[in-house]
Chain A
Amino acid sequence: MAQIIDACGRSCPEPVLMTKKALESHEARYEVLVDNNTARQNVTRFAKSAGYTVGVTEEADLFRLVLTKS
């Protein structure tokens, strides 16, 4: 079960900070929920720089970013 980081309603840089904090537990897989394009791009950029591959699925009112250690 991947750790889920719910950053919906948060504006940048908060989603990235929440992701950064979560990544300190060094798991292989995380899910980050964001609801705006800026957060999607910023979290994706940060996760890639931290060595994760990022898959995005668009749901009703949010983006689900799946981070997997590459």
Chain B
Amino acid sequence: MTNTVDTKAHTGRTSRTDNWWLSPLLVGVGFALFIAYATVRAFENNYFEIGQFLSPFYSPKLIFDWWHFSPAILILWIPAGFRATCYYYRKAYYRAYFQTPTACSVVGTSGKGYSGETKFPLILQNAHRYFFYCAAIVLFILWYDAIVAFISPQGQFAPSVLGLVMVLNCILLSGYTFGCHAGRHLCGGALNCFSQTEQQKVRFRIWHFVTKLNEHHMGWAWASLFSVGLTDLYVTMVARGLATPIFFL
């Protein structure tokens, strides 16, 4: 029996011996890369449309005489706000950037000054459902874009790999958007009783389906983040002449 003098039971940041730092590191780097790419593309205001293909960063394309900057700025606040207030992303960036906490049982920040989401600005996280409503509208427009991508400017059926990529992007965005925690609450989670009226029974079935999506919300969040970035990358490469949509017909 040997003794190690340590007058307190808990000293230092943590006693964990596993790679607790890896997850917040990967999340932090992943978000930073996406944000940097999206910011550059949003302000570039070029190479976002070619033929029937429109980048998701610029959809819906809002062109006004009075607006002299990139039209992406007029629309990107919606998906950005939706993701920034998303319950999954909050967990991810609170850990990776805010260090509250860095990881479970690992001290990030400490002290009584912590107020969580009770005060400005973080109290605005409570507006998540409003971003959900707006994001759902944008998603329907992206579905419209994906369908239009299968029709050439001359009105002919023109299936392509890029069109399929846009559809896949919409599927992943739909899984993410409609598996949202706020949506889960609004469609049925707010009820205490699911069985008394026809309306409750319908809402229960919707809630049950949304719950299945919601169980994999993190997966949908990451998959759709990658897909929206890669879809834009493909569109811009085609617009720059560096790639082709690869038409099947």
Are chains A and B native binding partners rather than an unrelated pairing? no
